[in-house]
Amino acid sequence: MSADETPTDAEAACFEAGIKFGSLYHQFAGTPLSPASAPSLETAMAEAIENQPHCREVTVDVRIDELEAALAESTADYTELTGHFLEVEIVVDYEGCEVVTRMEMEEGYPLMRLESVRE
């Protein structure tokens, strides 16, 4: 796309989804996390991101099995939130174009990917 072209609705929707993932990840990384606090943190993260424009739905799941495994190797009752503990789905609706994105672990890295674009 050249500098004088307007992005398509699909391109704008994908951009919006990327903004939401960046916000979610960097806003909450480092938050203290325990099995007891995981459900309230999932809700807080989802509701915070859903406030953003064009965001239709956010689902945040803390991978409790991974969290408990990390805590088993620690003397603390909590750890800090990283992408390693999260599975997230974000649905954006921009001018009728729906974009579904997901973040999940792939080969030890929290990969954010575009699942579908529906115009």
Which CATH number characterizes residue 111's domain? 3.30.1300.20
Tokens coding 17: 């989804």
Assigned domain for 1 exists: no
Assigned domain for 87 exists: yes
Q: Are 64 and 39 in contact (CB under 8 A)?
A: no
H/E element, 89: strand 86-94
Q: Is the pTM of this model over 0.85?
A: yes
> What confidence tens digit (pLDDT) does each residue in 57-113 have?
999 999 999 999 999 999 999 999 999 999 999 999 999 999 999 999 899 898 999
**Exposure string over 78-108, b if 16+ CB within 10 A, otherwise e:** bbebbbebbbbbbbbebeebbbbbbbbeeee
Assigned domain for 23 exists: yes
Assigned domain for 4 exists: no
Q: Are 100 and 10 in contact (CB under 8 A)?
A: no
Share of the chain above pLDDT 70, in %: 98
Domain span at residue 93?
Answer: 9-118
Assigned domain for 74 exists: yes
Backbone angles phi, psi at 30, to 5 degrees: 95, -10
Number of domains in the chain: 1
Assigned domain for 21 exists: yes
Tokens coding 38: 């995981």
The CA-atom distances, in angstroms, between 38 and each of 4, 35, 63, 94, 112 are: 46, 5, 9, 30, 21
